[in-house]
């Protein structure tokens, strides 16, 4: 017996607007609301509607289709704009972090061999050995992804030059075509002592925690780059943050399933990469723009009380600011 429900019926923009009104969403300017439905789309906005929907009294893990009292389209739109700016903040930091980690990996592996990324002797045994079930090694899987990235980048001058002259890319050129996921995976395959060198640069005590950081940041990067909702998303690639800073009580307050924890990781790394950046100040200013409404709050983002008193978020000096 097929218990699946039929797909929902297509609605035009006027019908979408009427549906929201019948469910209790206050819409002050219907023409403006309709323009945003046409521009952003009902389905994308539905993720921002969700926290304003009424709780199901029979199941606290689900919501009704009707909106809570005080829910307005303007607040939903302000939340969407806030989240868009939050994603741009993340991408701004992650671009700098990705570039720095590329240099770190290329420089450290390059000491071992110019082709260290393809040379199993330069990587950790657990990365290059076949899996216990006889399947491909992690390195072989990485190489397959890497070859795909090389193929996509063949028309770039430096890629074509190296392939024509040497038949392959040296590690310092190879790192330039890696995406954050491939870079994170290559870091995980490095020898322990090499990973530890990079981890200590960012004041991370253990290279395993550095691996976790990079996996989590890659998750944030993917959410941001694909324009998905970030402010209250559930982080599935979680890092153990407090273990690295046992003497700092602020880290133990962070919820590793919420995005703010990884903005703290970004800020921690940026203090090494570009210590005079105004990124933290701009992040602080963005938090002030969070829409004022009793239904939603920044605790859903993972922001703890008095977070601005934490030394990590100390404001940069005005001189020699790097934007």
* 172-215 tens-digit pLDDT: 999 999 999 999 999 999 999 999 999 999 999 899 999 999 99
Q: Which residues of 86-108 are buried (b: 16+ CB within 10 A; e: fewer)?
A: bbebbebbbebbbebbbebbbeb
Q: What is the mean pLDDT of the chain?
A: 93
The mean per-residue pLDDT over the stretch 12-23 comes to: 97
pLDDT at 11: 95
Q: Model pTM?
A: 0.92
Each residue's pLDDT tens digit, 113-137: 999 999 999 999 999 998 888 789 9
| Confidence (pLDDT) at 315 | 58
Integer Cα distance of 95 and 145 in angstroms = 21
Is 316's pLDDT higher than 60?
A: no
Percentage, residues of the chain above pLDDT 90 = 85
Q: What is the pLDDT of residues 87-103, one digit of tens each?
A: 999 999 999 999 999 99
Q: Region 66-76: what's the mean pLDDT? A: 97
Q: Where does the pLDDT of residue 321 fall: very low under 50, low under 70, confident under 90, or very high at 90 and above? A: very low
Angle 73-112/260-273 helices, nearest 10 degrees?
50
Structural domain boundaries of the chain?
Answer: 13-71, 79-313
12 and 34 in contact (C-beta within 8 Å)? no
């Amino acid at each position: 017996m097929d218990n699946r429900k039929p797909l929902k019926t297509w609605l035009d923009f006027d019908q979408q607007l009427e549906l929201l009104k019948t469910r209790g969403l206050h819409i002050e300017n219907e023409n403006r609301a309709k323009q945003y439905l046409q521009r952003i789309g009902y389905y994308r906005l539905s993720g921002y509607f969700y926290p304003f929907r009424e709780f199901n009294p029979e199941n606290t893990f689900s919501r009704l289709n009707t909106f809570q009292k005080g829910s307005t389209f303007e607040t939903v739109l302000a939340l969407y704009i806030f989240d868009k700016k939050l994603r741009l903040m993340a991408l701004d930091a992650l671009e700098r972090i990705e570039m720095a980690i590329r240099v770190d990996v290329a420089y450290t592996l390059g000491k071992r061999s110019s082709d260290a990324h393809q040379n199993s002797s330069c990587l950790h045994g657990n990365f290059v050995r076949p899996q216990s079930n006889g399947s491909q090694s992690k390195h072989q899987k990485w190489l397959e992804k890497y070859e795909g990235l090389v193929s996509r980048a063949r028309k770039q001058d430096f890629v074509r030059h190296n392939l024509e002259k040497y038949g392959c890319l040296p590690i310092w050129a190879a790192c330039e075509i890696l995406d954050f996921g491939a870079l994170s995976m290559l870091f995980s395959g490095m020898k322990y002592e090499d990973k530890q060198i990079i981890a200590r640069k960012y004041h991370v005590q253990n290279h395993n925690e550095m691996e976790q950081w990079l996996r989590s940041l890659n998750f944030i990067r993917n959410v941001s780059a694909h324009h998905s909702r970030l402010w209250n998303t559930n982080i599935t690639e979680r890092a153990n943050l407090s273990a690295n800073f046992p003497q700092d009580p602020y880290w133990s307050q962070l919820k590793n399933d919420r995005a703010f924890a990884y903005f703290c990781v970004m800020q921690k790394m940026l203090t090494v990469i570009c210590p005079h950046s105004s990124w933290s100040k701009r992040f602080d200013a963005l938090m002030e723009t969070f829409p004022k409404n009793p239904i939603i709050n920044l605790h859903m983002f993972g922001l703890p009380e008095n977070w601005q008193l934490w030394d990590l978020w100390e404001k940069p000096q005005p001189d020699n600011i790097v934007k």
